[in-house]
Structure 1
């Protein structure tokens, strides 16, 4: 089974946490004896002089080809027009990477294209698969459907990518429903839950992190980019009703200055710690140190941060977004609440009073392993290739 994995969402030296769950999934599947995977991770770069901006400079310096965590990864560039050409991204990507893919395919033919994000990867995979005369699969993860699937300039491309795919994957049943509502065929969509490194993400004794941070009372943590969609501002607004609690914001993003100003306005700036984007390898330590992980996102597929927190034995308080109800089936593991400061504060206070057993909390995600994830992915790809041979 020779698979071409097309993944704009994939970590690199410039952004080591970016799409790390795609890397973990792909690496575990590549460990199967009958699977060979080549990763193409196209890098969107604007024309000069915008390409000299710090945001893009490190991406421009990435090696064209490298071995990354045991995977053979190519990182070709394609033209990006910031603020103007998002609807052109699939065509620009195909134009840039087609010579490479054609050369690789001629040397050793691919059996299937695995697109790991619906936009721009899905429409690009559709065109590449047509040229190579092989099937393709697309995985929906969250914003790729909720944003690009509803943007008038890209909706049609997302829908056609879904309609013409041999098969589709969704990170939750809720995501599958959203795809069907968009017009995709229900029978093509398989729910494919994420995995988690259960060895690394596990309960652990206090190693002094709370003392390092100067936290003596309850520790709350949010994990995710500081962007409006994640709604960390609601957690900050809940703090006045949670005396003694400290909130750690693990992430970076455009809303940081607004969140700092909000904390100061509410008089809780001393109880809000901006930790920045933590290396993924450090995250288990921070999650295990926290009493509760809080994330009232406006939309999600099924957030990896939810699963990783629970695996550390840390209960979660989240909004009813994406697959929240599929994950939180045991009240000991957390609460799904209305996205208001009052509801968040009430749920956090309740869980702090209960102090749930961490091993019991961890049990809620015992089945979320990368081996299980890879087994299901292998079956999905095998099924698509078997159907193609029969036809």
Structure 2
């Protein structure tokens, strides 16, 4: 089977962790030996590369093509009009990709199916292109695309149009399927296929040695994620103020960096926090191994990969009950699912794990149930059924 994977959520030279979960799912799919794939990961057009233009300049610095894990990737540009262009973006993206896809086909690199990730604008654009080139389209819902963008207005109508016209829809958790159905999508069209965890990249390592290298001696929490308001790092910092002697590492970068530092200073916990900045995925396993608990306090998620990554390293987790988190944390060996998203409940969960933490071996064994094998098999079944004309997909 020949796939064209189309998504703006894919790692590149400027954003090394961006959409890493899409790349990982594709890597495991390719190891089946039953699929070939090319990746088209469009980025917004911007003329200047100077860093003073912020994230727009970073788009300009992304190379036109790249190779990662033996996968060929192209980064075509599309017009993105700030603020006022949200409803135009799927059409502008599709229009900019038509010529690129036509050249791909003409050069002998035709494909059987468009594998799109993230519903808006990516999935809508993919559906427009699928109609233009007469190709079946499968769209994977990831989280914010459904929980936020698709909730109102024209975006909701376009997402539901894409669902109706797609050959199939994948959601990364049952909760996202339920939300799509609530919006008006047909349940029969939707298949939940959860993300897995790469057990060869995330594993228990020499914990004492890593902690010594990082200078850790006390009970230490870890949070991983972009420094944005919905990730809830502020709640974890507030919880830290209720936990004398506990330390915190924060892995991530983003617009809330200074606000979080100011909050730490106000609460008098600056000396117990390490801001790590953006950490490459291949380095994250050291911090997972070093931590005693990983905390995710998000207000919204699709399927939070960081939970499984931490558990695969033997480190239990604490998570707010959002998105697919209740599908990840189903036993004490995994950690604690918060009854309430608050600093007080985070602090209580930390104290619980301080006194009654599962063994690291038990947490690792729990994570091993979430390999990518089932997800890969599910994709193969779905793609084969579509290409063989199964109308039930």
User: Which TM-score band (shorter chain)?
Assistant: over 0.9
SS for the counterpart of 2:78 is strand
**TM norm structure 1:** 0.95
For 1:348, which of 320, 325, 350 is the aligned residue? 350
Matches of residues 123-272 of structure 1 in structure 2 within 5 Å?
Answer: 123-272=124-273
Matches within 5 A, 1:290-329: 290-329=291-330
Q: 1:367 deviation in Å?
A: 2.5
**Alignment deviations for residues 227-248 of structure 1 (CA, whole Å, 9 cap, x no partner):** 1111111111111221111011
What number of residue pairs does the alignment pair up? 391
* Aligned match of 1:360: 362
CA distances 1:167-220 after superposition (whole Å, capped 9, x unpaired): 010111111101111111111111111121112211222254434444321010
Return 341-350 or 39-48, whichever deviates more.
39-48
Coordinate RMSD, CA, aligned: 2.0
Q: Which residue is 1:69 aligned to?
A: 69
Distance, in Å, in 2 between the alignment partners of 1:389 and 1:242 is 56
CA distance in structure 2 between the aligned counterparts of 1:244 and 1:377, rounded to whole angstroms:
47
> Residues 178, 185 of structure 1: CA spacing in aligned structure 2 closer, same or farther, 3 A cutoff?
same
For the residues of structure 2 that align with 1:255 and 1:240, how far apart are their CA atoms? 19
Gapped regions of structure 1 (runs ≥ 5) = none
**How do 1:9-24 and structure 2 match up within 5 A?**
9-24=9-24
8 Å CA contact 1:246–1:272 kept in 2: the answer is: yes
Q: For residues 125 and 182 of structure 1, what CA distance do their matches in structure 2 show?
A: 20
Give the 3-state SS of the residue equivalent to 1:243 in structure 2. Answer: coil
Q: Which residue of 1 aligns with 2:8?
A: 8
1:131 Cα shift? 0.8
Q: TM-score, normalised by structure 2?
A: 0.94
Cα deviation code 1:241-290 (max 9, x no counterpart): 21111011111111111111111111111111111110100011100110
Kindly indicate whether the alpha-carbon contact (under 8 Å) linking 1:24 and 1:370 is maintained by their aligned counterparts in 2.
Answer: no
Greater Cα offset, 138-147 or 51-60 = 51-60
- Per mean C-alpha deviation after superposition, the further-off stretch among 39-48 and 293-302 is 39-48
Distance 2:109 2:261 in 1: 53
Q: Deviations over 1:280-330 (max 9, x none)?
A: 000111001100001111111110001101111111111110112111111
2:295 match: secondary structure:
strand
Q: From the superposition, tell whether residues 194 and 49 of structure 1 become closer, same or farther in structure 2 (CA, over 3 Å).
A: closer
Query: Per-residue CA shift, 1:321-370, capped at 9, x if unaligned?
Result: 01121111111211111111111101110101113111111222213223
Residue of structure 2 equivalent to 1:383: 385
Q: Which moved more, 1:42-51 or 1:232-241?
A: 42-51
Unaligned 5+ runs, structure 2: none
Structure 2 SS opposite 1:204: coil
**What secondary structure sits across from 1:367 in the alignment?**
helix
Structure 1 window deviating more from structure 2 (367-376 vs 238-247): it is 367-376
Q: Distance in 1 between matches of 2:378 and 2:231?
A: 29
